[in-house]
Amino acid sequence: MRLVPYAFALLLLPLAPAAAEEAAPGDGPDDGIATFTLANGLEGVVIEDRRAPVVTHMVWYRVGAADDPPGLSGLAHFLEHMMFKGTETLDEGEFSRIVRANGGEDNAFASYDYTGYIQRIASDRLDLVMSMEADRMANLAPSPASAISELDVVIEERRQVVENTPGGVFGEQRRAIQYLNHPYQRPVIGWMHEIERLTLDAAMDFYAEHYGPNNAILIVAGDASVEEVQALAEQHFGPIPPNPNVAERERVAEPPHIAARRLEYRDPRVQNPYVIRSYLTEPRRPADQAEAAALTVLADVLGRGITSVLARELRVEDDFALDTGAFYGDTALDLTTFGIYVIPNPGIPLEEAEARMDAVIERFLEEGPDPDQLERIKTQIRASEIYALDNLGSRARRIGVALTSGLTIEDVRAWPDALEAVTAEEVVAAARAVFRPETSVTGWLLGTGEATGDGPTDIGIGTEILGE
């Protein structure tokens, strides 16, 4: 999801305006990124940066919730939890204890197209974390008891991240009808009734089918050279044979979307009703990122910040909405969504909010972007890209997401230029192409008149679950 990094970048922009004004170097041959591939298929990516004696060490697997077997949604995520439950030589929880005892931190995350493991630690401990990561790539051996108790943890996690928020529940229902056939219609964390059916056996079968060096990407960012990382990788991952069960991911495809869908969810906890509409569309494709770049800029033009089209018309010129926004999931292996939302001021019916939202889009399609605003947006994007270069963890992350979503390092490198090259005409063309009602789901999240207080509103569009 772009929303979080953007918001983050925006918050930090005032601190680095000078950088934002300078030309973006972009990722390029001099960007410190080096790669290698081991004989067993493990891909390595190193971003050398000697500014601090720390490394971020990640292993990404090309498998995620979209690969969960039917009826066992949540399995990829459950396995991600079980990866902390011990191997043939490490006890349950020992992995994280050792990382912490060595001054590091670790975590894991799962989404539709990837599952990843990350440690941040002093660079002289890279050898240690890599040896443990290689160990659990091949020798996972959790106890049945640990699986039973971890299932409770996952169930509780579902309560927290989905059921505790109306936006979470609503987002899940919208997704279920956004996709008519594809496994993206299922929640990453799994439907509750299916989580309850998960077993250690199922997780180990999934592990046996999808984990192994030939389905993994090692990314090390920080105080290490590619030579050092490759030598360590040869030592730790090199002895693991390729997993012959790993197959090319080929997901079920969508039938044509020909009928606009709507749904309405009422929840007593809703404080601020909103309307949200999402459209099925293409993500970035290898060596073909122009349209995705235009959609990325379009999302910003329509929904990013107070000068965006939706905000200007519905919040600045007219005090109509509490919040407005747009989103685009630029990186995905299969089809993604583009969306817009309006949270109207209290008391305004959603019918009216939707009509206003439609009218803003209608006018935008006629008039196109304001040249000054487009220039500001592109400056912001440029600044975000520069900021991203400064943040090693974020650079490593982008590479991991891209490589597990069918893109290449070259695509990652070319992305800032693709964004930079987007013209006003392309933004309008992208808008005309994406706003096809027949691919859309329009959702109304409503209260029941019982809500009190004024808590935050969750738009429910995130798809990644952070592990621990």
Shortest distance, CB of residue 7 to its own copies, whole angstroms? 27
Looking at beta carbons only, is 106 or 194 nearer to its own copies?
194
Looking at beta carbons only, is 183 or 467 nearer to its own copies?
183
Shortest distance, CB of residue 404 to its own copies, whole angstroms? 21
Pairing type for strands 43-48 and 216-222 reads parallel
Active site residue 105: no
Host H or E run for residue 105:
strand 105-110
Give the residue from 82, 183, 55, 180 showing the smallest Cα distance to 139: 82
Shortest distance, CB of residue 171 to its own copies, whole angstroms? 11
Strand partners, 107: 118
CA distances 128 to 45, 57, 132, 467, Å, are: 18, 11, 6, 21
Looking at beta carbons only, is 102 or 173 nearer to its own copies?
173
Shortest distance, CB of residue 141 to its own copies, whole angstroms? 28
Looking at beta carbons only, is 101 or 258 nearer to its own copies?
258
Q: Alpha-carbon distance 413 to 32, whole Å?
A: 11
Looking at beta carbons only, is 293 or 353 nearer to its own copies?
353
Shortest distance, CB of residue 132 to its own copies, whole angstroms? 35
Whether 327 contacts 453, CB under 8 Å: no
Looking at beta carbons only, is 23 or 258 nearer to its own copies?
258
Q: For residue 462, what are its two tokens?
A: 């995130």
List all residues 6 or more positions away from 111 whose beta carbon is below 8 Å from its beta carbon: 64, 65, 188, 463, 464, 465
Active-site residue among 21, 22, 43, 80?
80
Q: Alpha-carbon distance 422 to 420, whole Å?
A: 6
Q: Alpha-carbon distance 38 to 230, whole Å?
A: 8
Shortest distance, CB of residue 255 to its own copies, whole angstroms? 4
Binding positions for its own copies, rule: CB under 8 A: 70-71, 73, 169-170, 172-174, 176-177, 180-181, 183, 185-186, 191-194, 250-253, 255, 258-265, 443
- According to DSSP, residue 125 is labeled G
What is the identity of the amino acid at 453? G
Q: Alpha-carbon distance 127 to 18, whole Å?
A: 38
Shortest distance, CB of residue 253 to its own copies, whole angstroms? 6
252 three-class SS: coil
Q: Alpha-carbon distance 203 to 80, whole Å?
A: 9
Whether 242 contacts 212, CB under 8 Å: yes
CA distances 105 to 2, 100, 176, Å, are: 25, 6, 35
Q: How far is CA 386 from the centre of its chain?
A: 20
Q: Alpha-carbon distance 220 to 32, whole Å?
A: 12
Shortest distance, CB of residue 113 to its own copies, whole angstroms? 17
Q: Alpha-carbon distance 17 to 84, whole Å?
A: 42
Strand partners, 109: 116, 466
Catalytic residues: 80
